[in-house]
Amino acid sequence: MEKRIALFGTSADPPTIGHKKILEELSKIYAFTISYVSNNPNKKHKEDISIRSHLLKTLIEDLDNPKILFNQRVSSQWAVESIKNCKKIYKYKNLDFVIGSDLIKDIFCWKNFDKILKEVSFFIIIREGYPIESSTLKMLESYKVKFKISTIKIPKISSSKFRLNFNYSNLPSSLIDIVKKNNLYVSSKLVE
């Protein structure tokens, strides 16, 4: 059986210790994890994609794990395009698309959802406060979605929570100086 590959796209606005933990844990499960930054069409992003991708690339380089690859060429705002790009570049067949439980209900409305179902399985990471309800499980089953629910435990932090509370301890240490030196994510709450 061919090894499975994880495709982990994220808006990473900014990458947090949660993203770091996910990448570390995925590297224990998968032959490779390919990660990239995308613009989520349903979100308003604080920083430009070039800044966010630089931060994620820096985090991945700092992890120094040959099983975790950063490739921004995979990126598209549409999952179906990112999957297609990944398969074109890497020629992998067994691809698991990593998604947080906070977004699982959205997949049914994604562009070309029917094509996505033919191309990947979903690897769902449970985020605190976003349990997978039985009605969602029934929908996944009725659409014949191939999925696995992860047992990965991640810190209770998200990019949006970081932007609200602006606590540097929620950033990977390799990103703190970059964020400070470039005045990224500076909240109006901090300006007096």
Helix segments in the chain, DSSP class H:
17-29, 49-63, 79-90, 113-119, 134-142, 159-165, 173-181
Predicted TM-score (pTM) of the model is: 0.93
Question: The domain containing residue 88 runs over which residues?
Answer: 5-190
Half-sphere exposure of 181 (CA within 13 A, CB side): 7
Half-sphere exposure of 28 (CA within 13 A, CB side): 8
Ranges 37-41, 52-56, 164-168: which has the least confidence = 164-168
Phi, psi (degrees; rounded to nearest 5) at 69: -110, 140
- Nearest of 49, 72, 53, 62 to residue 23 by alpha carbon: 62
CB contact burial 68-99 (16+ within 10 A = b; e otherwise): bebbbebbbbebbebbbbbbeebebeebbbbb
Residue 172 in contact with residue 16, Cβ under 8 Å?
yes
Average pLDDT in the 179-189 region? 79
CB contact burial 117-141 (16+ within 10 A = b; e otherwise): eebbebbbbbbeeeeeeeebeeebe
Specify the CATH number for the domain of residue 38: 3.40.50.620
pLDDT at 177 over 80: yes
- Domains in the chain, number: 1
Half-sphere exposure of 134 (CA within 13 A, CB side): 0
Per the model's pLDDT, the better-predicted residue between 10 and 157 turns out to be 10
Coil/strand/helix, residue 41: coil
pLDDT at 48 over 70: yes
CB contact burial 7-30 (16+ within 10 A = b; e otherwise): bbbbbbbbbbbbbbbbbebbbebb
At 50, the amino acid letter reads S
pLDDT at 75 over 90: yes
pLDDT at 165 over 90: no
**Total H helices, total E strands in the chain:** 7, 6
The pair of structure tokens assigned to 70 is: 């950063």
